[in-house]
Amino acid sequence: MISTSFYLNANGISVSIAPYFENKKAAVTYTFDDGLRCQLTKAIPVLNELDFKATFFVITAVTPDYKKDAEKMNPGDWGSIAWEEWEEVIAQGHEIGNHSPEHKNLRDMSLAEASRRILQAQVKIQNKLNISPLTFCYPYNARTEELETFVHYQFPFSRTYQKGFGSSINQEAMDAVVKKAIDQGKWEVIMLHGIDSGYDKFDNPNELFKHWRYVKTIEKEVWVDTFAGIGDYITLAKNTNIQTTHKKNIFSIRLKNTTAKLQNTKLTLILKGIRTDNFTVKQGEKILAVQKYTDHYLVNVEPNETVIKIQYE
């Protein structure tokens, strides 16, 4: 369990951390491998329309600097999105991850050589995009236990599980994956490659787009975000303790976490037992928005030690 509740018997108020942002029932990350141009021209416009953020794993050695060079490549080629275009993708809120320099099977080489290649790709992304990727994706999903240990040391997150979407899959099958995640309360990670060209391209890309539009209709139940975005929330939630005090009509909450947040991550608190709607929630001097539900309230807070105060009549 991610959430931990702390009760104050004096007034019956309880506070817990939601397992997912805004207490949604499940989370989904759509990850795209290999930097295919059709991901930029076909998938990203739909993702942006729906305000869904995704993670893209880049093969650094084959990625050109400029759009004019990328446009000369086939839309299903590895690395056919230019570095200057990736800058725009980042500005749109998507995540760029490390997928090694040449997409060679790292399991077939020594740990020293595999490690050197991973770090080489990391430096290339840092130099080209002025970011340090938080997430790594193994080429061919191939890895050894030793390599996993190295990657775990170098990256906060790595993709070691995924559900593939592509080829002949239809909307109904993709929708079923998300529905199952909701039923099980899990974080589902989806792997995609080609959209209308390239490896594992969709027979009918519209099936994917219809699936995304369906997920948008149930966004109150499922949280769609980048790998690092969801990973950071879960890590913070697991490593945060709640301390509470109560004095007169002020209920105070202090969060203590043992890990630093890596992104602009907020945690969602579930408040129960407040017997009035006439109250305010502040963190420091900032008044926070409160969402009201039948038997609880939700509030998104900064995961730091700044005191959160609930003041009620």
Examine the fold and report which residue of 188, 219, 250 is the final residue of a domain before the chain moves on: 219
234 in a domain, yes or no? no
Contacts of 293 (CB under 8 A, 6+ apart): none
The per-residue pLDDT for range 46-62, each reduced to its tens digit, is 999 999 999 999 999 99
Residue 263's pLDDT band (cuts 50, 70, 90) = confident
Residue 11's pLDDT band (cuts 50, 70, 90) = low
SS3 annotation, 147-186: HHHHHHHHCCEEECCCEECCECCCHHHHHHHHHHHHHHCC
Residue 184's pLDDT band (cuts 50, 70, 90) = very high
CA atoms within 13 A on the CB side of 161: 6
Residue 290's pLDDT band (cuts 50, 70, 90) = very high
Q: Which pTM value belongs to this model?
A: 0.95
**Is 260 in the same domain as 302?**
yes
Percent of residues, the chain, with pLDDT higher than 70: 96
Residue that wins the pLDDT comparison between 82 and 257: 82
Percent of residues, the chain, with pLDDT higher than 90: 90
285 in a domain, yes or no? yes
| Bridge partners, 301 (sequence order) | 267
Q: Is 80 exceeded by the pLDDT of residue 288?
A: yes
**Is 40 in the same domain as 169?**
yes
**Is 178 in the same domain as 283?**
no
Q: How far apart are CA 95 and CA 81, in angstroms?
A: 14
* CA distance to 88, 248, 289, 309, per residue, from 284 (Å): 35, 19, 14, 8
Number of domains in the chain: 2
Q: Is 90 exceeded by the pLDDT of residue 1?
A: no
Structural domain for 88, as ranges = 25-219
Examine the fold and report which residue of 166, 187, 219 is the final residue of a domain before the chain moves on: 219
* Cα separation of the two ends of the chain: 33
Residue 77's pLDDT band (cuts 50, 70, 90) = very high
**Is 10 in the same domain as 153?**
no
294 in a domain, yes or no? yes
The per-residue pLDDT for range 112-162, each reduced to its tens digit, is 999 999 999 999 999 999 999 999 999 999 999 999 999 999 999 999 999
172 in a domain, yes or no? yes
What interhelical angle do 83-91 and 111-129 show, nearest 10?
A: 70
Q: How far apart are CA 79 and CA 33, in angstroms?
A: 10
**Is 16 in the same domain as 85?**
no
Q: Is 90 exceeded by the pLDDT of residue 2?
A: no
135 in a domain, yes or no? yes
**Is 82 in the same domain as 13?**
no
Alpha-carbon Rg for the chain, nearest whole angstrom, is 22
**Is 17 in the same domain as 29?**
no
Q: Is 90 exceeded by the pLDDT of residue 260?
A: no
Q: Is 90 exceeded by the pLDDT of residue 279?
A: yes
**Is 48 in the same domain as 189?**
yes
Q: Is 80 exceeded by the pLDDT of residue 8?
A: no
Mean of all residue pLDDT scores within the chain: 94
For 61, other C-beta atoms within 10 Å of its C-beta total 15
The per-residue pLDDT for range 201-235, each reduced to its tens digit, is 999 999 999 999 999 999 999 999 999 999 999 99
280 in a domain, yes or no? yes
Q: Is 60 exceeded by the pLDDT of residue 7?
A: no
Mean pLDDT of 170-187: 98
Mean pLDDT of 269-282: 93
CA angle 139, 143, 147 (to 5 degrees): 115
229 in a domain, yes or no? no
**Is 57 in the same domain as 111?**
yes
Q: How far apart are CA 278 and CA 286, in angstroms?
A: 17
What string of DSSP letters covers the chain? -----EEETTTTEEEEE-SSGGG-SEEEEEEEETT-HHIIIIIHHHHHHHT---EEEE-GGG--SSHHHHTTS-TTSTT-S-HHHHHHHHHTT-EEEE--SS---GGGS-HHHHHHHHHHHHHHHHHHHS---SEEE-GGG---HHHHHHHHHH-SEEE---EE--BT--HHHHHHHHHHHHHHT-EEEEEE--SSSSTT-BS-HHHHHHHHHHHHHTTTTEEE--HHHHHHHHHHHHTEEEEEEEETTEEEEEEEESS--SSS--EEEEEE----S-EEEEETTEEPPEEE-SS-EEEEE-SSSS-EEEEE-
